Amino acid sequence: MDKLLIRGGQRLSGEVTISGAKNAALPELCAALLTDEPVVLHNVPRLKDVATMRTLLNHMGVVTETMGERGGMRFHAADPLKPEAPYELVKTMRASVLALGPLLARFGHAKVSLPGGCAIGSRPVDQHIKGLSAMGAEIVVEHGYMVARLAPGLTRLKGARIATDMVTVTGTENFLMAAALADGETILENAAQEPEIPDLAEMLIQMGAQIEGHGSSRIRIRGVERLHGCTHQVVADRIEAGTFLCAVAASGGDVLLRHGRIDHLEAVVEKLRDAGVTVTAVDSGIRVQSPGAHRLRAQSFRTTEYPGFPTDMQAQFMALNCLAQGTAKVTETIFENRFMHVNELVRLGASIQIDGKVAVVEGVSQLSGATVMATDLRASASLVIAGLVAEGETRVDRIYHLDRGYDQMEDKLRALGANIERIR
The Cβ-side half-sphere exposure at 228, using a 13 Å CA radius, reads 3
The Cβ-side half-sphere exposure at 212, using a 13 Å CA radius, reads 5
* Catalytic one of 30, 118, 230, 246: 118
- Written as one letter, the residue type at 212 is E
What does the CA dihedral 307, 311, 316, 317 come to, rounded to 10 degrees?
60
| DSSP 3-state percent helix, strand, coil across the chain (nearest 5) | 35, 30, 35
Task: Cite the beta strand spans of 294-384 per DSSP E.
Answer: 301-302, 327-331, 351-355, 358-362, 371-373
Phi, psi of 325 (to 5 degrees): -80, 130
- 3 state SS of 18: coil
Asked whether 41 and 66 are in contact (CB, 8 A), the reply is: no
Alpha helices per DSSP H over 161-289: 169-180, 196-206, 238-251, 266-275
Select from 81, 14, 5, 19 the least CA-distant residue to 287: 14
Select from 328, 320, 322, 330 the least CA-distant residue to 363: 322
Neighbours of 407 (CB within 10 A): 20
Distance in angstroms (rounded) separating the CA atoms of residues 57 and 51 = 10
Catalytic residue list contains 230: no
Asked whether 243 and 406 are in contact (CB, 8 A), the reply is: yes
Catalytic residues: 118
